[in-house]
Amino acid sequence: MENNIEVKNITKKFKDFSLKDVSLSVPKGSIIGLIGENGAGKTTLIKCILDTMHIDMGSITVLGKDSTHLVKEEVGVVLDGAFFPEILKGKDMAAIMKKIFKNWDDPLFLQYIKDFKIPLEKPIKELSKGMRKKLEIASALAHHPEVLILDEPTSGLDPVVRNEILDIFLEFTRDENHSILLSSHITSDLEHIADQIAFMEDGKMIFCKEKDTLLEEYGIIRCEENVFTQIKKEEMISYRKNKYSYDILINNKKEILKKYKDIVMDTPAIDEIMFLYSKGEQK
């Protein structure tokens, strides 16, 4: 399958943090959900892909071209904490964007503005965080990009609006050519739309797996100490000791259920997998 984004073995060193040999593929027609705690390296990775931060080693291609030759027309971007000048009004955006993007589509932008109920006469500084985010998303989509790169795009939005936007993202990738790389702390959003989940921790890519495979293979054993002591070290990824029991993260659910007949096994949510990877202990 052809990839719209290809990150190969990149390294980026800072004084107190590094991206370490990170690789990631974003196939055509797919949505990749990028997860990890604050400081894991997600935003740094996105900045490297966008070439706003130069890498020390490795390579990045976007739509078949080296990321240093990124074509702004082809990529729609929403970055957490970055936005347009606050003195502008929503209605000013189309005039500005038209000068930046050759493919700018006024009718499409205005349709998103109408659908999102964004007041065009208010200065951006008077808009709520959710309204600002919706304006960013409308602007990212209205120049017909091939790829969307989104950092916390649904942050600050209520559940109803989040679902509307997630549906727009699904529609965007339906033609099998467009792709989305979406970093989010709202893992329930990723469970709804992502094809693959990429998990970063401490500057490393821990895994990138098909979402359905992830939820099929991973499990959490809930047990007391007598069962915990029976499970071998190599059979668990990590565990968490609670007051009266243990939570054990495993990634070979079928084999474990076959071997230990009477254990209680839950299918974890993505945030539980992330939590036990990050905060769990090794046996």
User: pLDDT tens across 202-255, in order?
Assistant: 999 999 999 999 989 999 999 999 999 999 999 999 999 998 999 999 999 999
Instruction: Report pLDDT for 83.
Output: 66
- Percent pLDDT > 70 in the chain is 98
Q: Which of 23-27, 70-74, 144-148, 225-229 has the lowest mean pLDDT?
A: 70-74
Higher pLDDT, 143 or 90: 143
Name the token pair of 263: 């254990």
Instruction: Report pLDDT for 82.
Output: 63
- Percent pLDDT > 90 in the chain is 69
Q: What angle do CA 25, 10, 141 make, to 5 degrees?
A: 45
Q: Would you say residue 168 has pLDDT above 70?
A: yes
Instruction: Report pLDDT for 217.
Output: 93
Q: Which of 14-28, 86-100, 182-196, 220-234 has the lowest mean pLDDT?
A: 86-100
Q: Residue 278 phi/psi, 5° resolution?
A: -80, -40
As a whole number, mean pLDDT of residues 139-165 equals: 92
Instruction: Report pLDDT for 69.
Output: 84
Residue limits of CATH 3.40.50.300 in the chain: 3-210
Question: Residue 73 carries which DSSP code?
Answer: G
Higher pLDDT, 159 or 84: 159
Burial class (CB in 10 A: 0-12, 13-18, 19+), 48: buried
Q: Would you say residue 48 has pLDDT above 90?
A: yes
Q: pTM of the predicted model, to two decimals? A: 0.91
Q: How far is CA 184 from CA 51, 189, 253, in A?
A: 20, 8, 26
Sign of CA dihedral 106, 112, 114, 116: negative
- Which CATH number fits the domain 3-210, given the four candidates 2.102.10.10, 3.30.1490.100, 3.10.129.10, 3.40.50.300? 3.40.50.300
β-pairing, 219-223 vs 264-266, is antiparallel
**Rounded-to-integer distance, Cα 178 and Cα 282, Å:** 40
- 8 Å CB contact between 131 and 162: no
Instruction: Report pLDDT for 57.
Output: 96
Spell out the SS3 assignment of 152-184: CCCCCCCHHHHHHHHHHHHHHCCCCCCEEEEEC
User: pLDDT tens across 79-118, in order?
Assistant: 886 667 778 887 788 888 888 899 999 999 999 999 999 9
In sequence order, the β-bridge partners of residue 25 are: 6
Residue ranges of alpha helices (H) inside the chain are 42-49, 92-100, 106-116, 129-141, 159-172, 187-193, 211-217, 225-228, 253-259, 270-279
**Residues present in the chain in total:** 283
Q: Would you say residue 120 has pLDDT above 80?
A: yes
In the three-class reduction of DSSP (H, G, I as helix; E, B as strand; rest coil), residue 82 is classed as coil
As a whole number, mean pLDDT of residues 15-41 equals: 95
